[in-house]
Structure 1
Amino acid sequence: MLMLMPARFGYHIAKNSSSILRPISILRFKSNVPSAKQSKNNLPADGIPKKSLPSEGEWKHLKLHIPGENVQTNDLKDRIPKFPLGKENVPTLLPRPGVPQVGKNFTFRQVIGILKNKTQPELIYESEPHRLYFLMCFCASIIFAIYGCVLFEWATWIANKEYDENEKEETNLAIRKREWAISLAMYLAPSAALFLLAYGAALFPTKLVRRIWYLPGPVEHIKFTSYPFIPGRPTPVYTVPLENLKRKHAARVWTGKGFYGTADKGFFYFTLLETLPNGKTKNWIVDRKGFFWSDGRVFDYLFGKETLQEAEAGIPYDKQFGIINQEVKKKKQQLREKHGVLWRYKMAAEEFGKDIKKLGGYITNSKSIDNKKKTDNGKQLPKGK
């Protein structure tokens, strides 16, 4: 009995120890610590989360809103606006990646330096869809054409009426026809003017600028595209030296309003003037609602022929006139304090006295010149001696 007790006791200990270790192993198996195999399967192959990369369909949709990535077509459907028309005023273009912005990281001088140091053509402008422009031009052209046709019919009717009424007064057929032609030409003048307006309204979309590229080099050039007159035709592309392309003096691009600082409530576009080789000028329309490289001050520097300091300041012309008027008022106030209330009359009297002195000097100089001529003539020898 005594010999069997240790063996049985050891058997119970081993049995109990195995029962104690079993739940410990179960707890380790159900713990929250991930296994090495499971952690490897959860990581992406390239180490980048898959949600940060757009899918192929998302990328195609995103490219439609990045300037320079979408292919611009000339189909008729691209000129028909979508209803309601309020959708056409919603911006659709995103900022182009990699374009420097004036701020904490870059100064305006550095931004211009980056643009000047480009070795490839750089897209600096892209417009939003011009569907509303096409709609307005189409409506204006139709209205002018209808009124032109009405006036054309009225002109022929009134000219024929006068021709018939002059039958009794004028018997000479040649004179009657001449008077009829003169009256018809006179009455057709308003109709011709309206037909010209209709043609100009129809031709206006061909002046709209769609994209602008800056071409670096020893001689800087600007390349831009527009619309063809007939839908479906190839896109017109123009390349002009930068010095031959400028904006109007009063049409400043930078307003300080909007995302690119180009928004303006009064004028929704600005005009670029192209100087042709024959000396004539050609107008190009640039919509203020679109993508601008950096901001509108770059365009004032390129096309406004302004200095870096003037373009960076970005002071609109109305504010410049206000500053000049304030300086003039300040100077007038100083003159009033110095000369009194009648400072205008005192200044006028001083200017009048200066003019009198100048006039007296001219008179004395002319007299001295005449006397010198007389003395010179008296010293000359008579002819024949």
Structure 2
Amino acid sequence: MLLSRIGSRIPAWGHSSAVSPSFLVKTSVFIRFKSNLPQDFNPKKSLPSQGEWKNLKQHIPGEAVQSNELKDRIPKFPLGKEIVPTLLPRPGVPQVGPKYTFRQVIQILKNKTKPELIYESEPHRLYFLACFCCAVVFTVYGCVLAEYAVFQANKDYEENSNEQNEVLRKREWVLSLMKNSVFSIVMLGAAFMFAKFPTRLVRRMWYLPGPVEHIKFTAYPLFPGRPTPVFTVPLEHLSRKHHARVWTGKGFYGTADNSLFFFVLKEAVNGTKKSKNWIVDRKAFFWSDGRVFDYLFGKESLAEAEAGIPYDEQIGIVNRELKKKRQQLKQEHGFFYKWKLGAKDVQQDIQSATNYVKSLNEKKSGKKSLPKGKKPE
């Protein structure tokens, strides 16, 4: 059959039936059997269009352009849209599972030779709205209290109930103003803290490999339209504040928490006791999962970070062990085991105190107690 097909492609050269082998090889190259290629195959059709790719880039971590315009700080109504996550998992990021262990994931991160994006937050429009409202409210309170302080100081000055001279009246006016302005200063200080709070929000974070590991991250400027602040800090100077674990086991990256929607990173300024606090939103993109951040910023071992046991659960384990031990003591000593054990402890304390008093009396009398089994000569 094969020779018949080949022969059909051989031109008739005279009446000779001899065909050279090289000719057969050259013609057999053009024969294709059972081809699976589609007739209308076009790889460009499977790629997204320019408009689709422009929209898709907004949802891939590290691809969108983060601007500082005023419109980016105003939430879109209804406000429920701002709570829905919009960032997709970044391609190429390893996940802990059947393919990679936690140790291998950490090793992949450590072996990076270029800066690696490990965090990107969702838009913080709700944070800006809440901070703006709180700043306005506390500013109004501060201004009202400041006006009251001036009014009260002028009232005391005009009444002059103690009939003091001008010098004492002015001094009393200043003291009254300072005394009544304390609450106003507190309120204005709170307003300033709320207004400055968004500048502590982390937008993106990169891991910089090298002999000395660094973390580079961006934040928000205080006023719209200003350049994006960029900070580069040694990894050893950044630590997770308190005992709030990043990993909770809830959510896509295991970082969701029902009680607190952010965690705090504390930066030690030049190795001194002074520190800065940076706010990291839990509703964001995390490289691999939250256990990587517990390892980097919680200064935990690989085993502790991989176990991912929250501090609440650790306390729960200790409480369960204590409860189990109490049940065992109750079975051994009865319902009043606490009183029995307490009586034994009191008896031991009394015996120790008695022995101590006897030793003091022996030292005063000059007698030395002999070891057991020996008689005086």
Report the TM-score range of the alignment, normalised by the length of the smaller protein.
0.7 to 0.9
Residue in 2 that maps onto 1:184: 177
Q: Is it true that 1:202 corresponds to 2:212 in the alignment?
A: no
Post-superposition CA distance 1:350-384 (Å, at most 9, x none)? 22233334434544565677788xxxxxxxxxxxx
Q: Which amino acid aligns with 1:188?
A: S
> Is 2:210 aligned against 1:217?
yes
* Stretch of structure 1 that moved more, 265-274 or 168-177: 168-177
Are 2:340 and 1:334 aligned?
Answer: no
| Residue 366 to residue 245, structure 1, CA distance change in 2 (3 Å) | farther
**1:281-315 superposed Cα distances (whole Å, 9 cap, x missing partner):** 21110111110001111111111122222222222
Identity of paired residues, percent? 65
Q: Which amino acid counterpart does residue 259 of structure 2 have in structure 1? A: G
Give runs of aligned pairs for residues 4-23 of structure 1, distance below 5 A.
Answer: none
Any idea what SS the aligned residue of 1:249 has? coil
Decide whether aligned partners of structure 1 residues 243 and 55 sit closer, same or farther in structure 2, where only a CA change above 3 A counts.
same
* Greater share of residues in helix: 1
Residues 214, 358 of structure 1: alpha-carbon distance in 2 compared, 3 angstrom cutoff: farther
User: CA, structure 1 residues 336+157, in 2 after alignment: closer, same or farther (shift >3 Å)?
Assistant: same
Taking structure 1 as the reference length, what is the TM-score of the superposition? 0.81
Distance change in 2, residues 1:335/1:178 (3 Å):
same
Is the partner of 2:246 in helix, strand or coil? coil
Structure 1 residue 219: deviation in Å? 2.0
Which residue in 2 is equivalent to 1:80? 74
Q: What TM-score do you get using the length of structure 2 for normalisation? A: 0.82
Q: Offset at 1:169?
A: 3.1
The root-mean-square deviation of aligned C-alpha atoms, in Å, is 2.2
Give the direction of change, closer, same or farther, for the CA distance of 1:360–1:284 in structure 2 (3 Å limit): same
| Structure 1 CA distance for aligned equivalents of residues 126 and 339 of structure 2 | 58
Deviates more, 1:192-201 or 1:304-313: 304-313
Is the radius of gyration larger for structure 1 or structure 2? 1
Query: Which of 262, 274, 281 is residue 275 of structure 2 equivalent to?
Result: 281
Q: How many Å apart are 1:249 and its aligned residue?
A: 2.9
Match of 1:43 in 2: 41
Alpha-carbon distance in structure 1 between the residues aligned to 2:300 and 2:220: 30
Q: Which residue of 2 aligns with 1:103?
A: 97
* Equivalent residue runs for 1:283-322 within 5 Å: 283-322=277-316
Unaligned runs of 5+ in 1: 1-38, 373-385
Spell out, residue by residue over 1:212-240, the C-alpha distance to the aligned partner (whole angstroms, 9 max, x if none).
11112222221111111122222111111
Give the conservation status (yes or no) of the 8 Å contact 1:155–1:187. Answer: yes
Distance 1:368 1:73, change over 3 A: farther
CA distance in 1, matches of 2:120, 2:38: 46
Aligned length: 331
In 2, the alpha carbon distance for the partners of 1:365 and 1:274 equals 56
Match of 1:258 among 251, 263, 268: 251
Residues 249 and 304, structure 1, Cα contact 8 Å, conserved in 2: no
Corresponding residue for 1:239? Answer: 232
Deviation at 1:331, TM superposition (A): 0.4
- Distance across 2 between alignment mates of 1:357 and 1:240: 60
CA distance in 2, matches of 1:358, 1:68: 70
Question: 1:42 Cα deviation (Å)?
Answer: 2.6
Counterpart of 1:193, as a letter, is V
Match of 1:380 in 2: none
SS of the residue aligned with 2:188? Answer: helix
Match of 1:123 among 103, 117, 124: 117
Structure 1 counterpart SS, 2:64:
coil
Amino acid corresponding to residue 235 of structure 1 in structure 2: T
Counterpart pick for 2:219 among 197, 212, 226? 226
CA distance in structure 2 between the partners assigned to 1:248 and 1:351 by the alignment: 40
SS of corresponding position for 1:106: coil
1:165, distance to aligned residue in structure 2 (A): 0.8
Equivalence for 1:52 = 46
